[in-house]
């Protein structure tokens, strides 16, 4: 009778030890699964391979599984750097908008300058005596341009 009890204890200890080793080697996989690790299948397979390599890989699997967290990724990025990056992108968009507005204003000013140059050339073509009439007509043209600009403001 004592032999059957000893045999039962031996079988129970062997089965418990066998399942205990398997459960211990699945701890990195459970951690990876809990953290929604993108490589949890690879960690699970490596855990089984670690059983065959006399547990050499197991500490590395533990580290691999605990490095990743869903809320912060791998943990190598700085939250402040990401916030600064988004802030920089916002500033860049504002600067691009300002540049577009300035380019539009510049193009309208260039158009006005070209219109004035065209008027001056028209006046020069109409003048028979450039010395007398051009200076008088140019002053009239200058006054009308100034009046237009003051009317725009």
Q: 95 and 37 share a domain? A: no
Angle between helices 40-52 and 27-34 (to 10 degrees): 180
How many other CB atoms are there within 10 angstroms of residue 117's CB atom?
A: 10
List the Cα angle 56/65/44 in 5-degree steps.
65
pLDDT 10s digits, 91-125: 999 999 999 999 999 898 888 888 888 877 777 77
How many other CB atoms are there within 10 angstroms of residue 120's CB atom?
A: 16
Q: 57 and 111 share a domain? A: no
Q: 50 and 14 share a domain? A: yes
Q: Is residue 74 part of a domain?
A: no
Q: 104 and 128 share a domain? A: yes
Q: Are 32 and 45 in contact (CB under 8 A)?
A: no
Q: 88 and 132 share a domain? A: yes
What pLDDT is stored for residue 15 in this prediction? Answer: 97
What pLDDT is stored for residue 13 in this prediction? Answer: 97
How many domains is the chain built from?
2
Write down which residue in 39, 67, 95 finishes a domain. 67
pLDDT 10s digits, 66-87: 999 888 888 776 666 677 788 8
Q: Name every residue whose Cβ is closer than 8 Å to that of residue 39 and which is 6 or more positions away in sequence.
A: 32, 64, 68
Q: 88 and 139 share a domain? A: yes
Q: 97 and 57 share a domain? A: no
What pLDDT is stored for residue 152 in this prediction? Answer: 57
Q: Is residue 73 part of a domain?
A: no
How many other CB atoms are there within 10 angstroms of residue 115's CB atom?
A: 12
Q: Does 62 or 79 have the greater pLDDT score?
A: 62
Write down which residue in 67, 94, 120 finishes a domain. 67
Q: Does 11 or 25 have the greater pLDDT score?
A: 11
Q: 89 and 146 share a domain? A: yes
């Amino acid at each position: 009778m004592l032999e059957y009890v000893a045999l039962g204890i031996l079988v129970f200890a062997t089965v418990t030890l066998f399942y205990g080793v398997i459960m211990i080697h699945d701890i990195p996989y459970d951690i990876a699964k809990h953290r929604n690790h993108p490589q949890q299948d690879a960690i699970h397979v490596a855990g089984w391979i670690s059983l065959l390599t006399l547990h050499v890989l197991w500490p590395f699997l533990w580290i691999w599984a605990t490095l990743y967290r869903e809320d912060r990724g791998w943990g190598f990025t700085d939250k402040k750097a990401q916030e600064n990056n988004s802030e920089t992108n916002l500033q860049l968009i504002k600067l691009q908008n300002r540049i577009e507005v300035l380019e539009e204003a510049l193009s309208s000013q260039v158009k006005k300058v070209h219109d004035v140059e065209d008027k001056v050339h028209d006046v020069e073509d109409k003048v028979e005596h450039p010395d007398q009439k051009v200076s008088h007509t140019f002053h009239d043209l200058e006054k009308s341009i100034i009046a237009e600009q003051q009317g725009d403001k």
